[in-house]
Amino acid sequence: MNIAVFCSGNGTNLQAIINAIKKGKLAADLALVVSDNSQAYALKRARRAKIKTVFIDPAQFRVKSDFEAKLTEYLMAERISLIVLAGFMRILSSEFVMKFRNKIINIHPALLPSFKGSHGIKDAFDYGVKVTGVTVHFVDEKMDHGPIILQQALKIEEGQTLEALEAKIHKIEHKLYPEAIRLFTEGKLEINGRKVKILS
């Protein structure tokens, strides 16, 4: 199965996926890494692993639909069956999501539906919750909203710093995301409304 990873930044989750494939824990062809940021370190990670990379500059397109049409061109050319969002700091349109319905997944550094948005770790930390975690979910037309595939909770320890919490969250992400991708590529996810059943 051909997968594409969309990144905007450092690409640590991308690296975790690359490592899982190299170790044989994930049987998928990482055919394409797409970024909207030419300076994203994720692109360097992909090139180092000899994965095809594409930088698409949103500023070159008059409207969002044109940007997404170019995205779609690349995805179709590589026969992509799964789109993995890994720190992609751009909200995809409803039209794009509908086109690839149940074929786009995202990872969020909090236990959805709590602490949506781009600062999930800090928001949970500042709120003072005792437990946070990581969520992998299908992408739908709303932000951080689609059916949940996997979640893992993490207890926030007394006196823990934000930096220490971030490190623990990222460690969970790097384990959970390749596992969710594996379940998808092996056809073990069955969606029924908001519920995702993991088949044995």
Task: Return the beta strands (E) in the chain as ranges.
Answer: 2-7, 29-35, 53-55, 82-85, 104-108, 131-138, 148-155, 189-192, 195-198
Q: Sheet with 29-35: list strands edge to edge.
A: 53-55, 29-35, 2-7, 82-85, 104-108, 131-138, 148-155
145 in active site: no
pLDDT tens-digit readout, 13-40: 999 999 999 999 999 999 999 999 999 9
Token duo for residue 167: 């490190």
pLDDT tens-digit readout, 118-151: 999 999 999 999 999 999 999 999 999 999 999 9
Task: Return the beta strands (E) in 126-192 as ranges.
Answer: 131-138, 148-155, 189-192
Omega cis (within 30) before 147? no
Q: How many domains does the chain have?
A: 1
Here the CATH number for the domain that contains residue 37 is 3.40.50.170
Query: Whole-model pTM?
Result: 0.96
Domain with 188, as residue range(s), is 2-198
Catalytic pick from 108, 119, 137, 145? 108
Average pLDDT on 161-171 reads 98
